[in-house]
Amino acid sequence: MRLTMPSRHRNPDEFPTVQLFLLAIVRLAEPIALTSIFPYAWPLIKRFKIGSEDDASFYAGLLISSFSLAEALMGMYWGSLSDRIGRKPVLLVGCVGTMFSMLMVGLAPNIWVALLGRAIGGLLNGNIAVIQTMVGELVTKREHEPKAYSIMPFVWSIGTIIGPAIGGTFADPHETFPDTFPKGSLFEKFPYLLPNLICAGMLLMSILLGYFLLEETHPDMQPRVLLPDTTFLSENTPLIETSDAMKRPAVDLRDENYGTIRSIDGVDTSGASTKNVEKRPDLNVFTNKRIMAVVLALSIFTYHSMTYDHLLPIFLEDDRAPLSHAVGLFDHFSPFYSPGGLGFSLQAVGMIMAIQGLIALFMQAVVFPIMAERMGVHRLFIFVTLFHPIAYAIMPSLLFVPEQLLYPALYLFLTIRNFFGILVYPLLLILIKEATPSLTILGKVNGLAASASAACRMVAPPVAGYLYAMGRRMDCTALAWYGSTFVAILGAIQCFSVTRSKARERSANSLKAGGIPASEMSDSDAV
């Protein structure tokens, strides 16, 4: 009688559909929760009566950015902790922290409690790094990476569409739905509690799904043999299946590499000199040039991408100045004469932002996998980063487009921007995984990347807003766009410092010579 049962491990050669789906559900609740505050941040601050009404936008920006500041301080810590105790506990703590943060903001009697709530959410949240790490550990075949790494940005985009909709619809429900939420109710005293409760409920569902169904992905915490609870164990119970041992030998003694140990990039850690040896892997994150180059590229991208997200609604809503105010004949065509914005209504801007979200979803779901497969990860990264500055430089020219062509031109420019911006982010995630010399520090590396990105997200809005305000006084709102263009140009120069290991380059070249796309190279091919 056979007491051992076959292991129920997931087949590493198959695409991890179920686990990525569960991870996506856990991920979806977070952007919904974090962006739901955007529509009501300004009236919330005015309700707190801090300073003059003109200062409300500053304090609203401070309230929103406080989460990113706290996240930047703790991102690397949570990534490192996940390397020691596992990904799943850190992920669930992040969800609990965000849920607690939502309740604090919804029940905040003053700005200081609201700021504390947002900061606590950021301090307890290391989920960006942990989720990226879990995706990297779930996906073991290189041909699956483009598809897998496009899922989380796709989910994030969906969340950033749903989140503001919840915040705008359910904020101050006493005014919007007076019959359901009458005078004297809890929601009149705390008018912004309801959207936070809805988001907290979504986070609770994510926590329960993650706790019961999500697998731990840390490679050192995987069970070796899974036995049913009814299995009787004794000294005669075989713990290793041996019936087919001769048919499937564990090692090939004839292999010339038998007796050596290789790391991810084909490094012989035993010290022997073989043709696959390059150098010992550098496990110090801060001295590893490949890791720091990718993290710097991610930071530059995050900065100028955040400036675009901040400037776009302002530029769309700002009053449109008549171009007849130009002094000379050629002032209409001067890149340094760009007064005001496009003068769209708030409702029109909402529609434009929704359509931009749909464009982003199309780029992530359809365009990215095709482009990554045809060009390969590294080449596509160089291409989109090199031409990314165009997306910012062309925006001021919308001021000179005839009104009947304004919408088509705007959607064309948004498509160009989303093509470059949406494609580059999952590419950077893949490159971070490739640059990491050992899976034992993958969480720490992703934590560093998340902290650097959060710091850039914190700095970008006030800098871009200051440049726009200064340019507005000079009849040159293009100044803010040109500032973003300059940073994107720096990124285009820096992207050439992001290199692949020589082993991966040799494998990619040999596979390409054999007619195999570079994106279909498996991890074993790289060594």
Residue 129 CA to residue 465 CA, distance in Å, equals 28
Rg over alpha carbons for the chain, rounded to the nearest Å, is 26
Q: What's the confidence (pLDDT) of residue 248?
A: 40
Residue 486 CA to residue 179 CA, distance in Å, equals 53
Residue 225, pLDDT above cutoff 70: no
Q: Which residues does residue 421 pair with via DSSP β-bridges, in sequence order?
A: none
Residue 110 CA to residue 106 CA, distance in Å, equals 11
Q: What's the confidence (pLDDT) of residue 102?
A: 92
Residue 3 CA to residue 232 CA, distance in Å, equals 7
Residue 80, pLDDT above cutoff 90: no
Least confident of 104-108, 163-167, 298-302: 163-167
Residue 230, pLDDT above cutoff 70: no
Residue 301 CA to residue 495 CA, distance in Å, equals 10
Q: Which residues does residue 338 pair with via DSSP β-bridges, in sequence order?
A: 476
Residue 56, pLDDT above cutoff 70: no
- Residue 60, C-beta contacts closer than 8 angstroms, at least 6 positions apart: 41, 42, 44, 45
- Residue 228, C-beta contacts closer than 8 angstroms, at least 6 positions apart: 5
For residue 177, the SS3 value is coil
Q: What's the confidence (pLDDT) of residue 153?
A: 78
Q: What's the confidence (pLDDT) of residue 388?
A: 95
Residue 360, pLDDT above cutoff 90: no
Residue 306 CA to residue 453 CA, distance in Å, equals 10
Residue 169 CA to residue 303 CA, distance in Å, equals 30
Q: What is the pLDDT of residues 135-166, one digit of tens each?
A: 888 888 877 877 787 788 788 878 877 877 78
Q: What's the confidence (pLDDT) of residue 172?
A: 84
Confidence of residue 417 (pLDDT cuts 50, 70, 90): very high
Measure CA 408 to chain center.
Answer: 29
Higher pLDDT pick, 324 / 482:
482
Q: Which residue has the tokens 């990215």?
A: 368
Q: What's the confidence (pLDDT) of residue 105?
A: 93
Q: Is the pTM of this model over 0.85?
A: no
Q: What's the confidence (pLDDT) of residue 93?
A: 94
What is the DSSP code (8-state) at residue 367? I
Higher pLDDT pick, 280 / 407:
407
Confidence of residue 106 (pLDDT cuts 50, 70, 90): very high
Phi and psi dihedrals of 245, rounded to 5?
Answer: -65, -40
Residue 354, pLDDT above cutoff 50: yes
Confidence of residue 3 (pLDDT cuts 50, 70, 90): very low
Which tokens go with 482?
A: 């040109």
Least confident of 5-14, 476-485, 488-497: 5-14
Return the top range by mean pLDDT from 5-14, 355-364, 414-423.
Answer: 414-423
Q: What is the pLDDT of residues 245-263, one digit of tens each?
A: 333 444 443 444 434 434 4
Residue 452 CA to residue 71 CA, distance in Å, equals 10
Confidence of residue 494 (pLDDT cuts 50, 70, 90): very high
Phi and psi dihedrals of 139, rounded to 5?
Answer: -95, 110
Where do runs of H (alpha helix) occur along 388-441? 389-393, 406-435
Residue 387, pLDDT above cutoff 90: yes
The residue type found at 270 is: S
CA distances from 352 to 58, 311, 358 (A): 25, 14, 10
For 254-278, b/e burial (b = at least 16 CB within 10 A) is eeeeeeeebbbbbbbeeeeeeeebe
Phi and psi dihedrals of 476, rounded to 5?
Answer: -145, 70
- The arithmetic mean of pLDDT across residues 347-358, rounded, is 75
Residue 228, pLDDT above cutoff 50: no
For 69-91, b/e burial (b = at least 16 CB within 10 A) is bbbbebbbbbbbbbbeebbbebb
Residue 272, pLDDT above cutoff 90: no
Task: List the one residue out of 166, 175, 174 whose CA is nearest residue 201.
Answer: 166
- Asked whether 422 and 363 are in contact (CB, 8 A), the reply is yes
Q: What's the confidence (pLDDT) of residue 332?
A: 52
Phi and psi dihedrals of 184, rounded to 5?
Answer: 90, -5
Residue 274, pLDDT above cutoff 50: no
CA distances from 148 to 143, 144, 350, 446 (A): 9, 6, 30, 16
Confidence of residue 223 (pLDDT cuts 50, 70, 90): low
Averaged pLDDT score across all residues of the chain = 77
- The arithmetic mean of pLDDT across residues 202-215, rounded, is 92
Which tokens go with 425?
A: 């982010």
Residue 306, pLDDT above cutoff 80: yes
